[in-house]
């Protein structure tokens, strides 16, 4: 029986010739990641259990991004606990203010994940790295504590759904629209416990940033991971960047998929997910009556340089609507610097937006743009659950940077094709 790409990576890391769906395996990991929200609980778990050690100081990564720069005293204490742990164990991959970025934008950018890797992270959007041809998945603090100490983790080998992509994206349509559209079709538990494997002739037309955005939101369909095949674009991205040699795993021609879903990229319109679930997807053009109070452009989903460029392209020479507080957050220091060099920061400020240092901030209702009761935001983030960006009676509409920027100007949701 053939194996999927995911199954092959798991088998290789478990030292097995073959694995089958449902099998429980223990596998070697290439990287264990945690952040300022999940690491403290893991660090305490290690200490409480007399296991205050890490398996490899070059393979345990801590990123302070959620409530950093410290939003209050409690957050400062959490960040300090992480910092002290990183120092005590001489961690090579510790990213503090000044070096940090949002973890899932930062790790690929810094070459810390490569094709064929097996990565676990105490953050649900760890699934982002599937774009690079790696297996990566989110776990909790206890799992990551065990992984940090032992370099191993247990997995149930997942079944897979194959998404056969064809065609090319229309102008103003991006990876974000693709994944919102897919989740709209299959639902927030449409891929529960499974892998989402992307393949087909359409893959080549997607940029690495599009692929990262698509895999980032695999978890929003309940998936264990999302994964793209390794092609020329992947190799170009990884060359000179990745700190480990890339290993390409290909799905076998006779690999078993529970389902194959055809996706014509050319048929996907600019798409928005309405509150309070990412599956509530509608074409942006149908939501023009939705008036907005805030616009957030950033996050691990859409805070990369191409996202910044698209937003700036839409905002050049325009002003955001006076009612729409517009917050732009480049996801890493490198992206931030690039925005400064390319003049994008100037464009944003001239358009009436504010530009923040990298942080998760408003994406999880942490800081830097919290909503009051009854307020509505359009955001390039990945979740629009009740209370996600602030008050339980506030609302979040998920969209691409192009839709978000165009809507910020209009004061209500618009299709950028019509602006």
Partner 1 sequence: MRVKGTVFKYGDNVDTDVIIPARYLNIADAEELASHAMEDIDTSFVQKARPGDIIVAGRNFGCGSSREHAPRVLKDSGISCIIASSFARIFYRNAINIGLPILESTEAAENIGIGNEVSVDFETGTIEDLSTGKSFQSQPFPKFIQDIIDNDGLFNSLKARAAEEKGATEGI
Piece in contact with partner 1 (CB under 8 A), picked from 4-12, 42-50, 226-234, 340-348? 42-50
Select from 69-77, 207-215, 298-306, 372-380 the region that touches partner 1 (CB under 8 A).
Answer: 69-77
Asked if 372 touches partner 1 (CB under 8 A), the answer is no
Scan residues 234-293 and list those touching partner 1 (CB under 8 A). 277
- Size of interface with partner 1, in residues (CB under 8 A): 46
Question: CA-CA distances (angstroms) from residue 221 to 157, 186, 194, 243, 367?
Answer: 18, 7, 9, 31, 26
DSSP sequence for 133-186: T-EEEE--HHHHHHHHHHSEEEEEPPPEEEEEEES-PPTT--HHHHHHHHHHHH
Q: Which partner, ligand SF4, partner 1, none, binds residue 299 by CB below 5 to 8 Å per kind?
A: ligand SF4
Position among 383, 413, 414, 415 found at the interface with partner 1 (CB under 8 A): 383
With CB under 8 A as the contact rule, the residue among 65, 143, 197, 209 that binds partner 1 is 143
By a kind-dependent CB cut-off of 5 to 8 A, residue 141 interacts, out of partner 1, ligand SF4, none, with partner 1
- Distance, in Å, from the CA atom of 19 to the CA atom of 21, rounded to the nearest integer, reads 7
Q: How far is the CB of 387 from ligand SF4 (least distance, A)?
A: 14
* Three-state secondary structure of 295-322: EEECHHHHCCHHHHHHHHHHHCCCCCCC
Cα separation of 336 and 329, whole Å? 8
Residue 104 binds to partner 1 (criterion: CB under 8 A) = no
Look up tokens 């055809």; give the residue. Answer: 262
Q: Which of helix, strand or coil describes residue 105?
A: helix
Taking only Cα atoms into account, the Rg of the chain, rounded to an integer number of angstroms, comes to: 20
Given the DSSP bridges, would you call strands 325-328 and 281-283 parallel, antiparallel or unpaired? unpaired
Question: From residue 39, how far is each of 10, 118, 220, 398 by CA, in Å?
Answer: 25, 19, 22, 28
Order of strands across the sheet with 354-355? 281-283, 271-273, 395-398, 376-379, 294-297, 325-328, 354-355
- 49 near partner 1 (CB under 8 A): yes
Provide the minimum distance between the beta carbon of 76 and ligand SF4 in the complex, in angstroms, as a whole number: 18
Please tell me whether residue 304 binds ligand SF4 under the rule CB under 6 A: no
- Give me the count of residues in the chain: 419
Strand, coil or helix: what is 27? Answer: strand
**Identified binder of ligand SF4 from the candidate list 13, 59, 66, 211, rule CB under 6 A:** 66
Write phi, then psi, for 75 (nearest 5 degrees). -65, -40
Using CB under 8 A, pick the residue from 11, 19, 37, 238 that binds partner 1: 37
| 3 state SS of 25 | strand
CB atoms under 10 Å from CB of 150, counted, come to 16
Q: Which stretch binds partner 1 (CB under 8 A): 52-60, 285-293, 387-395, 400-408?
A: 387-395
Check binding of 135 to partner 1 (CB under 8 A).
no
Q: Give, as ranges, the residues between 84 and 113 that touch ligand SF4 (CB under 6 A).
A: 102-104
Among 65, 109, 123, 375, binds partner 1 (CB under 8 A): 123
Query: Which of 3, 29, 39, 45 touches partner 1 (CB under 8 A)?
Result: 45
Residue 392 touches which of partner 1, ligand SF4, none (CB < 5 to 8 A by kind)?
partner 1
Binding site for ligand SF4 (CB under 6 A): 65-66, 102-104, 123, 125, 299-300, 360, 363-364, 381-382
Binding site for partner 1 (CB under 8 A): 24, 37-38, 40-41, 45, 48-49, 51, 66-67, 71-72, 74-75, 77-78, 122-124, 126, 138-143, 145-146, 188-189, 192-193, 219, 222, 224, 277, 364-366, 383, 385-388, 392
């Amino acid at each position: 029986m053939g194996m999927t790409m995911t199954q092959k990576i798991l088998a290789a890391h478990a030292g097995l010739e073959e694995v089958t769906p449902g099998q429980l395996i223990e596998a070697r990991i290439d990287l264990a990641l945690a952040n300022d929200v999940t690491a403290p609980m893991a660090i305490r778990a290690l200490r409480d259990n007399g296991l205050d050690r890490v398996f490899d100081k070059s393979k345990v990564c801590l990123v302070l991004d959620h409530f950093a720069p410290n939003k209050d005293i409690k957050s400062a204490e959490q960040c300090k606990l992480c910092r002290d742990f990183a120092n005590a164990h001489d961690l090579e991959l510790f990213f503090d203010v000044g070096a940090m970025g949002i973890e899932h934008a930062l790790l690929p950018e810094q070459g810390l994940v490569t094709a064929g890797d097996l990565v676990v992270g105490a953050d649900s959007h760890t699934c982002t790295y599937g774009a690079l041809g790696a297996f990566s998945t989110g776990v909790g603090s206890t799992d990551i504590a065990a992984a940090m100490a032992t370099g191993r983790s247990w997995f149930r080998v997942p079944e897979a759904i194959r998404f056969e992509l064809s065609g090319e994206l229309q102008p103003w349509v991006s990876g974000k629209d693709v994944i919102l559209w897919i989740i709209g079709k299959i639902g927030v538990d449409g891929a529960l416990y499974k892998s989402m494997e992307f393949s087909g002739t359409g893959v080549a037309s997607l940029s690495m940033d599009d692929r990262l955005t698509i895999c980032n939101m695999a978890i929003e369909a309940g998936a264990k991971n999302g994964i793209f095949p390794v092609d020329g674009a992947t190799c170009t991205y990884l060359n000179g960047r990745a700190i480990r040699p890339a290993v390409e795993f290909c799905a076998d021609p006779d690999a078993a998929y529970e389902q194959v879903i055809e996706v014509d990229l050319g048929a996907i319109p600019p798409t928005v997910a309405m509150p309070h679930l990412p599956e509530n997807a509608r074409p942006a053009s149908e939501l023009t009556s939705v008036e907005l109070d805030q616009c957030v452009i950033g996050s691990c989903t859409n805070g990369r340089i191409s996202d910044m460029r698209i937003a700036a392209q839409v905002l050049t020479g325009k002003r955001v609507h006076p009612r729409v507080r517009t917050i732009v957050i480049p996801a890493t220091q490198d992206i931030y610097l690039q925005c400064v060099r390319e003049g994008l920061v100037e464009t944003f400020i001239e358009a009436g937006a504010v530009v923040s240092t990298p942080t998760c901030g408003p994406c999880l209702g942490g800081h830097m743009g919290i909503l009051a009761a009854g307020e509505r935001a359009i955001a390039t983030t990945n979740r629009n659950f009740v209370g996600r960006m602030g008050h339980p009676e506030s609302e979040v509409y998920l969209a691409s940077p192009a839709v978000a920027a165009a809507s910020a100007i209009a004061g209500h949701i618009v299709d950028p094709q019509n602006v």
